[in-house]
Structure 1
């Protein structure tokens, strides 16, 4: 049962200008986005990351680089196109204020499972590939590093929202109720019985508790704690 830290890329130049970037090349983090990514790296400095996987788009690779810079050991990030942004087709590159006038916009808001972007992909296909990629990498990390491993996945807002919806057992048509800000951290742990959602859209706080002390490591139960449990063991020093 590894733990995956889902991070949306920091604010991009397209985010700041109100444009739907999609998969357009050359969309980078702006200055605020770089600062946000550095802050996530600070939050994760005490977490031993077993692996890092990122969308191939520049803004995600830049975010991943800033996050892993403070890791004690070398974390070599790999890219996976299955974690790339939704293919918005003819919508990409257009101002959001103009897209909001399109008839399809209402479908995206109210029934995203029925939305297919002109010249692009459906939101259902986006969710299917995103969830499949996360589960595939999670199984690989478990096989290579054990059930206590923690790994990083850097992706995009709608992709992460769809992954969280699946983990929560929520229909895609309700995924717009989930909010995922730039450089926010969400946390999921998968098990044989169910996923456990440990956090969504967080912006602050040390996350070293995600890496259990070596001396107390034991196989995590796949059962939910009745009553809520005692929570993670406090960190009393380096391990």
Structure 2
């Protein structure tokens, strides 16, 4: 089975000021975000990825470039609108501190499956399109490159949280329990019987084990031995 590495974009000027950027054009990585994306690119340099699929928004394409520039091959690099940010409608461009006073805010926190943003998208529709896109690309990369294929999807916090919730078998109403930080790495494999989540919201650690092929689709009873990878120690 193929492996998808879910990467959130690095920090942006909007993130740093508490603004809900949504699909606003021209929101790019700030200096901290560029540093975060560079670290993620360095982590993934040890993994020969066959593709880096990105949301069309600038902050994701910038993050994807840090990953692509550190790959020795020439991975496919398509843009997929189904991985773009949620359409927050009239909430877009407003401060999170102001949005927290809206009657819809507690529903977003506790029952997101019931939320449709005013003038925008429902959170259920957001999850449906993003999960379908991930599964579609995953199947295509495996068909073209074989079951050991590893690929990257660069997207947004709520998008990745909704994809992880689906992979965990969690109802969308529980997805706010998942944290996905800027430039973080999460890892999912879609097996024939169920998805397997191998990492969530990591910002450090060796990923070279991903270059060694797939793991069994069966869950190891007792937890198994885990991936074998070179370990380094510091004095």
TM-score (norm. length: structure 1): 0.94
Describe the SS at the equivalent of 2:7. strand
Following superposition of structure 1 onto structure 2, how do residues 61-76 of structure 1 map, counting pairs within 5 Å?
A: 61-76=61-76
What's 1:150 paired with? 150
Following superposition of structure 1 onto structure 2, how do residues 27-106 of structure 1 map, counting pairs within 5 Å?
A: 27-106=27-106
1:33 Cα shift?
A: 0.4
Are positions 1:228 and 2:223 aligned together?
Answer: yes
Q: Distance in 2 between matches of 1:117 and 1:140?
A: 32
Could you list the structure 1 runs, at least 4 aligned residues long, displaced by more than 6 angstroms after superposition. none
1:211 Cα shift?
A: 1.0
Q: Conserved in 1, the CA contact under 8 Å of 2:27 and 2:59?
A: yes
Describe the SS at the equivalent of 1:103. coil
* Aligned Cα root-mean-square deviation (Å): 1.2
Q: Deviations over 1:13-59 (max 9, x none)?
A: 11011100000101000011000000001101100101110000000
Q: Conserved in 1, the CA contact under 8 Å of 2:50 and 2:76?
A: no
Counterparts in 2 of 1:146 and 1:119: CA distance versus 1, 3 Å: same
What's 1:111 paired with? 111
Q: Deviations over 1:141-162 (max 9, x none)?
A: 0000111111000000000000
What's 1:126 paired with? 126
Q: Distance in 2 between matches of 1:16 and 1:171?
A: 30
1:220 Cα shift?
A: 4.6
Following superposition of structure 1 onto structure 2, how do residues 118-197 of structure 1 map, counting pairs within 5 Å?
A: 118-197=118-197
Q: Distance in 2 between matches of 1:181 and 1:200?
A: 10
1:232 Cα shift?
A: 1.8
1:235 Cα shift?
A: 5.3
Q: Conserved in 1, the CA contact under 8 Å of 2:162 and 2:172?
A: yes
Q: Distance in 1 between matches of 2:64 and 2:136?
A: 19
1:184 Cα shift?
A: 0.6
Unaligned runs of 5+ in 2: none
Q: Conserved in 1, the CA contact under 8 Å of 2:50 and 2:151?
A: yes
Q: Deviations over 1:183-225 (max 9, x none)?
A: 110000110100000000001012111111xxxx5x7532111
Q: Distance in 2 between matches of 1:172 and 1:234?
A: 34
1:231 Cα shift?
A: 1.7
Unaligned runs of 5+ in 1: none
